[in-house]
Amino acid sequence: MKLSNGRNLQSPKGMVTRPTTSRVRFAVMNRLQYKLLHARWLDLFCGSGIMGCEALLAGVKAVVAMDKEYNAVVTSTYNLQITQKCINYPSSIAVCKTDSLHWLDTQVGHVRPFDIIYIDPPYSDGVYEIVLYKIAEYRWLNSNGIVVVECDNSTFPFDDQVWNLLDRRNYGKITLLYLSLRVQHHDGTGSKLLQKVL
C-alpha cells in the first residue's frame, strides 16, 4: 500500500480490510484541495489511516483518527507518524482506540469541531445514518465544513432535510458523497430523526 508520494505504508495485521483505492484517494484530495490547507480532519473508522496520511500530505494541520480494532490503531498510528515526518509544517495527530459512535457521543465539548470529516465504515455495518445524525446533532462539523462519505454505489445514507448533497461521484462499486449541513442541528430538535435512524 503506497501513499501518493510513493512512500510505503503498513496494512493492519490479521485483519481483512478494504483500503481506500489510490484512485478514490486522489479524487478526494483533488475535490477538497482548496479546503485542506490548515484544516482539521476527522477520520472515523480509520483502518490503516491512509486517508489521514493523504490529508497530512495535502496540508491539513490536525488529524484525529479512530478505530475500535487494536491492530488498526497500531497500524494507523505508525502510518500517520511516518507521514508526519515527511512534511515540513507543524501538524498534530491523535489516534484513538474506540468505537466511533461512542466517541462522537462522549467527546462533545472536549474536542473542537472539524473542517472535514471522512466516514468509511464497513459497508455492511449500516451505521451511516446514525453517524451523520450524531455529527449534525452534536455540531462536530464547522459551519463551512464538508463530510465525505465512502459507501457502495447502492447506498444513499443521509437525510436531505439535514444534509445538502454537494457532489456524488462513482468509482466502480464505490461511491463518494460530499455533504454539507443544510441547517444547524442542536440538542432537542432531532428526536424524529433519531427515532428514524434507530
Task: Supply the DSSP string of 76-92, one letter for each residue.
Answer: HHHHHHHHHTT-SS--E
Helix, strand, or coil (residue 173): coil
Helix, strand, or coil (residue 189): coil
CATH of 30-197, one of 1.10.760.10, 3.40.50.920, 3.40.50.2300, 3.40.50.150: 3.40.50.150
Confidence (pLDDT) at 189:
46
Mean pLDDT, the chain, as a whole number?
89
Q: Where are the chain's structural domains?
A: 30-197
Kindly list the distances between the CA atom of residue 146 and the CA atoms of 87, 159, 184, in Å, as whole numbers in the listed order.
24, 15, 13
Confidence (pLDDT) at 198:
38
| CA end-to-end span of the chain | 36
Place of cell 497530512: 56
Confidence (pLDDT) at 158:
79
Confidence (pLDDT) at 193:
46
3-state percent breakdown (helix, strand, coil) of the chain, nearest 5: 35, 30, 40
Confidence (pLDDT) at 195:
37
Which one, of 167, 114, 110, lies nearest residue 136 by Cα? 114
Place of cell 491539513: 60
Confidence (pLDDT) at 184:
55
Confidence (pLDDT) at 25:
95
Which one, of 48, 120, 124, 52, lies nearest residue 92 by Cα? 52
Judge contact between 28 and 174, C-beta under 8 A: no
Q: Which three cell numbers stand for residue 138?
A: 452534536
Place of cell 437525510: 159
Q: Please list the ranges in the chain whose pLDDT falls under 50.
A: 185, 187-198
